[in-house]
Each structure stands twice: as structure tokens, then as C-alpha cells.
Amino acid sequence: MNSSMENESLPPTVKPGILGGHFLQFRRDPIAFFGKLSALGDITTFLMGNQRAFFINNPELIRDVLVTNHPKFHKGRALKRAKRLLGEGLLTSEGDFHLRQRRMMQPAFHRQRIFGYANSMIQYGEKISLEWREGETRDLAKEMMRLTLNIVGDTLFSAKVEEDADAIGKALTTVVELFDYMLLPFSEILEKLPLPQSKRFDKARATLDKIIYDIIEDRRKSGEDRGDLLSMLLLAQDEGDGSTMTDRQVRDEALTLFLAGHETTANALTFSWYLLSQNPEKEKRLHEELDRVFPNGEIPQPEDYSKLKYAEAVIAETMRLFPPAWALGRLAIEDHHLENYLIDKGDLVLMSMYIMHRDQRFWTDAEKFLPERWLHENAIKEAGQKFVYFPFGGGIRRCIGEQFAWMEGVLLLASIGRKWKFDYVGKKPVKLQPMITLRPKEGMPMRLSRR
């Protein structure tokens, strides 16, 4: 391959800092930084210390990396560093091992099985609704985290984690917040030093390990097949050699799902309540749908999911404006051409759902909250196929729990929304905290009102 022409020039970039290239600009405000890059073209470049990176903001380029040429790429540095917490879970593993694990886990996420999880989603939505009181102010970000944590514990592990929910939630928040620290240059060396951040991270990981290993130990002792993911992991055999998963492998997958399975949906719901509170006419339309589907205040049932078209549109539009997974990266494991540029082996390629989902070339009124844009049939599927909308990623690494997340988000929005409405009482505008996921930086304080 003759790459001399491509190597003569690099894509456009913004002015780097004196030290570390663009690293400090990126850390200060990664969303704003990507926004500046996107204004320069569909493919731009920047330096993270001595790591060369490319930012792509074009649907065809994104499809090229995630689908067409996915074998040329592995997960980026962020998820490599996440192995310190998640081990070789589905989110961080690569190659044949990743395909083996995904194949073993897939049955737990078949549509019919997810439909069976719906009762738990509704039950916990009802439970949290009964705990609230008229006129009180609650941090809906914390409330949604607690809610979805209980659901993932119950549906995927048949484990009542309510008594451990605060400890798990605190530990997960600690590791998510410290993840930024783990991405610092030389963090591989820093984490071996007795620094406060390293100690806090290790303590949080130990808390999570104890809770999850206890669940695994109890299940192994009982030998009971409860038909949940944990049972499947413990009983699954490799098609090739007949081997089963070790406790460590089960732990890695369980912890990955604890994190990914509650954090993303909680954030989507949190921002949904916020956007509805800021758009009364959209909130009114949601309430009209809920009153039509549940005219006498009935508790939602799993089969109601297909009737809640506007609730689904609210979730879809929220994930467009505030995608829980706001960016993703791929590391080139061999040379690859994008447009007229050469991506060298070892280069990082980044893309941002947040930036693409607000690109005015592909979205009418891109900055407005318009759930109606999703109401025509197959709108979500069509946007995903075009790669202008990819809140769950794409290609063979697309989120295995996508259908679980859709059902959970819609049913919880319906279950809670038919009883309560929320008024945002925090500072405006909402400050964002783009870490592993996109969180509101200062929580989401909301005043509760009964409908």
C-alpha cells in the first residue's frame, strides 16, 4: 500500500496547548472540544499527549469503522483502562473471547425473555412511586439510579439488592467519577502508588466484588436454575471444549451488566423528566397517552409496552439530545484509509453520539426536543441504519441489552408518569458531566407533584 500521499497531510485541527497536545482542552470540556473539531470537517485530528487521534463526524465514516471494517479496530484506551474494574467482561473483551461470551449471554436477551422481565420493571416503578410525597424535592438522578439498580439486580440475577443498593450505588458512582483519573497519562503507573484516588477506587471495587461474589457463591451452593442471566452464565458450556465459566468470568460479566445495565437507563430517564419539565406541551401529550392507555389508573402490564408510542418517542428523543453513551472510541490494530487520510496502526478513532445527534445537516430543529419526529413507523430503525442515530453503538459491538433498555425506559416512564409530574428546581442550564456515561453534573433536583 502506497501511503506517501496520505501521510503528506493530516486532517484539520484546532490549536494545541503547549504541553500534552490537546489533552487539557479535551479534559476541560470534551463535548465543546468535539464541537469545535466537528465545525472543521467530517474528519479531524488531535493529540492526546503522544497519542494521535482522529475525530469522525459523518454517518458513512462511522459505519466504515463500526461495521464495514470493524476487524481493523479494537476498543479504545478508555475501555482498555476499564478492565481494571470490569476485567474481561463483554464491554472490554476482544476477538474470539468476546464472541464466545456474547454467544453464551445472548439467550438472556431474547425478546421473549426480556418481555418476562417487564413485570419486575413495573413492580419497582410502582414501589418507588409510593415512597414519594406531594411537594417534596428529590434528586431524580439518584432516584433513577436506585430504581434501575434494583431492577437489574432482580431481573438479571434474581437478587434483591435493595439492602445493598446504597453501597452499590455509592461504589459505582465512585469508580465512574474516578474513571477520569484513570485516563490521565501515566495512570498505569499512578495507580500503583498509594494515592487517595487509587485507594478510593480499590475500596469501591472491593465493595462491588464482595457483593457480586456473594451472589455467585449463594447460587453455586443452591445449584438452582432460576432462568436468569446468572443461571445461564453458571450453566453455560463452551461449544468447542465444553468448559464452563470460572467465578472470575461470571463476576466480570455480572459487574459489567450492573454498571451498563442500570447507569444508562437511569440517565435516559433522568434527562427525560428534565426535558418534559421544560416542554409542557410535550409533557401534556405524554399524559394524554397515559390517560388513554390507563383510563382508570390501572397498573401497566407488559403487553401495554406496544401501545406506548409517545412514551417511546420521548425516550428516543431524550437519547438523541442526551445520549447516555455520549462517545466511543476505536484503536486501529492495522492501517486503514478514511477518505484521503491514512489511519496508522495504533491511532485512535473517536466519534460522538452527542455531536452527531445534534448535527443540523441530518436533523431538522436539531436542538429542539421534538418526540414527534419518532412517531412514524420504523423511524428509530431508519435513523439507526443511516448511522445518524446510534445511542447503543453499532456493528458487532452494539449493546446486547438494547431491547431491555427500551422496554425498561418506556415502562418506567409510563408507570411513574401516570402518577407524578416533575418541576426542575436546579440551576439552568443543566451542567453536563461527560464521563463513561453522560450525567447531570449537579444532579437533577425536581419538585414532585401528584397528577
What is the mean pLDDT of the segment spanning 333-344?
Answer: 94
Tell me phi and psi for residue 239, to 5 degrees: -60, -30
Rg (CA), the chain: 22
* Residue-wise pLDDT tens digits, 169-194: 778 778 777 666 656 555 566 666 67
Residue 219 is predicted with a pLDDT of 86
Distance in angstroms (rounded) separating the CA atoms of residues 185 and 333: 21
* Residue ranges of E strands in 3-92: 43-48, 51-56, 73-75
Tell me what percent of the residues of the chain surpass a pLDDT of 70. Answer: 92
Please give the DSSP secondary-structure letter assigned to residue 81: H
Range of lowest pLDDT (49-63, 81-95, 408-422): 81-95
- pLDDT tens per residue across span 37-66: 999 999 999 998 888 999 999 999 999 999
Better pLDDT: 305 or 163? 305
Confidence (pLDDT) at 239:
67
Residue with cell 425478546: 111
Mean pLDDT, the chain, integer: 88
Q: Reduce the secondary structure of 372-429 to three states and give it as a string.
A: HHHCCCCHHHHHHHHCCCCCCCCHHHCCCCHHHHHHHHHHHHHHHHCCEEEEECCCCC
Q: Across the strands, what pairs with 389?
A: none
Predicted confidence at residue 96, as pLDDT, reads: 84
In this prediction, residue 375 has a pLDDT band, given cuts at 50, 70 and 90, of very high
Query: What cell numbers appear for 401 in the block?
Result: 441489552
Cis, peptide link before residue 391, omega less than 30° from 0 = no
Q: What is the pLDDT of residues 20-33, one digit of tens each?
A: 889 889 989 999 99
When pLDDT is averaged across residues 303-323 and rounded to a whole number, the result is: 97
Q: Name the band, by pLDDT with cuts 50, 70 and 90, for residue 444.
A: very high
What are the phi and psi torsion angles at 326 (to 5°)? -90, -15
Q: What is the pLDDT of residue 382?
A: 94
Position 188: which residue type? Answer: E
Tell me if residue 171 falls in helix, strand or coil: helix
* Grid cell locating 85: 474494574
SS3 (DSSP) at 283:
helix
Q: Is-contact 13 44, C-beta < 8 A?
A: yes
pTM of the model: 0.90
* Range with the poorest average pLDDT among 165-179, 244-258, 329-343: 165-179
What is the per-residue pLDDT for 79?
65
> What DSSP string describes 93-161?
--HHHHHHHHHHHGGGGSHHHHHHHHHHHHHHHHHHHHH--TT-EEEHHHHHHHHHHHHHHHHHH----
pLDDT at 6: 44
The answer to whether 56 and 42 are in contact (CB under 8 A) is yes
Q: Is the pLDDT of residue 300 over 90?
A: yes
**What are the distances in angstroms from CA 92 to CA 23, 84, 213?**
23, 10, 20
157, 222, 225 from 218: Cα distances, Å: 11, 6, 12
Average pLDDT over residues 185-212: 76
Q: Name the residue with higher pLDDT: 181 or 326.
A: 326
CB atoms within 10 A of CB 356: 25
In the chain, what are the domains? Answer: 4-450 (1.10.630.10)
**Better-predicted residue by pLDDT, 2 or 202:** 202
Confidence of residue 315 (pLDDT cuts 50, 70, 90): very high
Q: Grid coordinates standing for 361? A: 445537516
* pLDDT recorded at residue 186: 53
Q: What cell does 451 get?
A: 397528577
Name the pLDDT band for 2 (thresholds 50, 70, 90). very low
What residues have CB less than 8 Å from 385, skipping those under 6 apart? none
Q: Please give the share of the chain, as a percent, with pLDDT higher than 90.
A: 56
pLDDT at position 7 over 90 = no
Tell me the CB-side half-sphere exposure of residue 277, using CA atoms within 13 A: 22
More confident: 358 or 247: 358
**How far apart (Å, rounded) are the C-alpha atoms in residues 262 and 339?**
38
Q: What is the pLDDT of residue 327?
A: 94
Model confidence at 222, in pLDDT bands (50, 70, 90)?
confident
Q: Is the pLDDT of residue 87 over 70?
A: yes
- The answer to whether 400 touches 89, Cβ cutoff 8 Å, is no
> Which residue in 277, 288, 280, 278 sits closest to 311, CA to CA?
288
pLDDT at 272: 98
pLDDT at position 173: 76
> Residue 16, CB half-sphere, CA atoms under 13 Å: how many?
16
pLDDT in tens, 140-162: 999 999 999 889 888 888 877 77
Report pLDDT for 356: 98
Q: Which residues pair with 47 in a beta bridge?
A: 52
Q: How many CA atoms lie within 13 A of 403 on its CB side?
A: 15
Run of H or E including 349: strand 348-351
